[in-house]
Structure 1
Amino acid sequence: MTGRSGPAVLPPSLRVSLGPVAALAALVVVVLGVLYAGHSEPGRVDRWIVRPTADSVRPPWRHVALALDFLGEPAGSALLISACVAGCLLLRCPRAAVLVVAGAAVAVGTATLLKHLVGRTIHGDNLSYPSGHTAFFTALALVGALLVTGRLGLGRTAGTSLVLAAALVAGAAMGWAQVALGAHYPTDVLGGWCTALAVVPATAWLVDRVADRPADRMADAGRPERR
């Protein structure tokens, strides 16, 4: 059921396939959090991926990394969210606009909570696991991919591929920037990416449930009473 607020933001074709993906992503977040809890140094995987971890990129790529990093800062993220919400409203998808805000908020909020629970640090006392920048950017990409999947009516295989590809591109781009600038370890980036994969589908399902309730009540009110 679509209701007055527009079509479902979690397309029915993806509800089954994204469930296991979200569960696996949540498992990865937990495992990495346990492995690196309280650590203040890069792990073996981190050292294998990048050497060194801090400020390893030079102009002109450094400018690209800084631009991506800005999109995850409060001012940049506010501008990006505003643009995404405006785009959804222009497309007459108010439910998707709600998911833009809710998905980003839940992803960043979860990442922030996990940072305090895990206590992994970088460059002194800076909490690093998982990467909130990566979680935020990946969350927006997931919302966009879900919207495209629904509007194009893509099937389970094509829709799931699009969603995962969008998440991978966004997560890799922001993750590269964070590691290149020395703000996060590579495993922090992986944790942030998986955080978004775990929470955004659940948030989309919840938005649909809340939005559909008024329509369900109206449908029930229009049915004749049984005697």
Structure 2
Amino acid sequence: MEQMDKHRREDFVQELFGSIAKRYDLLNAVFTLNQDSYWRNFAVNKANIKTGQSILDICCGTGKLSIALAEKAGLQGQIVGLDFSENMLRQAEDNIKKTPYSQRITLMQGNALHLPFPDHSFDCTTIGFGLRNVADIPKTLSEMYRVTKSGGTVLSVELSKPSAPILKQLYFLYFEHLLPLIGNLGFHKNQPYYNLPASLRTLPEHSVIQNIFLQVGLKQITSYQLTGGIAAVHLGIK
């Protein structure tokens, strides 16, 4: 039954993000007041990426984090962006073509729970705003750990839950009511943005994710809460 639930969730998430791919970047910027760019750049700057490193960006979506990683890794760096939504990958391809990094970013379709790479393949493995949508967070982080080289970094940047009571209430009011209302404009059926708040409700607390990093074998865990706890960055070393 658990496996069936995971498959259903994967199918649902794939259909959901396939339907919003074209407007995903614009609405992310609007909904976060462009803070998503700050969160991504903060995470990349904390990842200790060196020139020429190989990096895997899973759940790469429209490629924004992959692009930031490519900029940090320099001319000899190689980035692989993996996502299981074909429409999101198409959007990522369009975004990457507008940058100087198209020769250094390879896009491929794949599943975060079963990464198609040998052990110890990458210097750094990242996931940006995708952890809350995977069917199994510990399995995803375990796979990220597996394909990362010894001494390499595993990084997640994700939405989080503010701890201050008033901010938390305002945040969920916004996320569960105003965001879906705006996001679903133009959709006549299957209004996808009404399904997104559930992914945040079920996302483990910041401290729980930190513990999962430890459980999969990562060391020297560092975490940061950004913008009043609305987003969080977690890093661990293999």
Q: Which has the higher contact order (CA 8 A, sep 6+)?
A: 1
Q: What TM-score does the superposition give when structure 2 sets the normalisation length?
A: 0.28
* Greater share of residues in helix: 1
The normalised TM-score by structure 1 is 0.29
